[in-house]
Amino acid sequence: MTGGPSWGSLHLMDFKNLLAKVRPHARTIGVAAAVLLVGLSLLSFRCNPMVDRKNVQGLVLEVEVEGIVPPEGGPPQARVLLAVVDTFQVRILLPPPVPHPGHFIPLIAENYRKGNVEYLLDLEKWQAEGPQ
């Protein structure tokens, strides 16, 4: 590339000079658009509230991967394919102990107004009882 600095070689002062050249009303419009996007995303969460939460069991169909190290640290986890109510299949990460196909895993099913369901590991039961 010729005719000027590449983006990789720009320094902090170059960005300050660039921002100084932007018209104040353009910056205001950018900030307003960002605030509007954040507001709309929060509103979308509010428009689909959780309406029901219940304990369910997931049947282990397959242990897909073992030894996944979480980014925040901690013990290695296993990615497991589960069959849950209404013939859905979900994948979840499980802390030790690693279950075997045929074991049952305690889950929490969160039902939302728009009909979607989210399955979470019931960590308290998992730590107390393990796979069944």
Amino acid at 10: L
* Domain match, 30 and 54 both: no
Question: Residue 116: what are its φ and ψ, rounded to 5°?
Answer: -80, 155
* Domain match, 65 and 108 both: yes
* Domain match, 40 and 83 both: no
**How many Å apart are CA 44 and CA 117, to the nearest integer?**
16
pLDDT of residue 112: 85
* Domain match, 81 and 97 both: yes
* Domain match, 42 and 64 both: no
Domain of 22, in residue numbers:
9-46
Query: Cα(first)–Cα(last) distance of the chain, in Å?
Result: 63
Question: Residue 21: what are its φ and ψ, rounded to 5°?
Answer: -80, -20
Q: How far is CA 49 from CA 16, 45, 57, 87, 116, in A?
A: 43, 7, 23, 24, 10
* Domain match, 100 and 121 both: yes
Tell me the Ramachandran region of residue 66: left when phi exceeds 0, alpha when psi lies from -120 to 50, beta otherwise: beta
- The per-residue b/e assignment along 37-61, b for 16 or more CB within 10 angstroms, e otherwise, is eeeeeeeeeeeeeeeeeeeebbebe
* Domain match, 87 and 115 both: yes
The reported pTM is 0.60
Residues 6+ apart with CB under 8 A from 51: 111, 112, 113
* pLDDT per position as a tens digit, 88-110: 899 998 888 889 999 999 999 98
* pLDDT per position as a tens digit, 38-88: 877 776 666 777 788 999 999 999 998 888 888 888 888 889 999 998 768
Residue 82 within any structural domain of the chain: yes
Q: How far is CA 74 from CA 45, 67, 126, in A?
A: 30, 11, 16
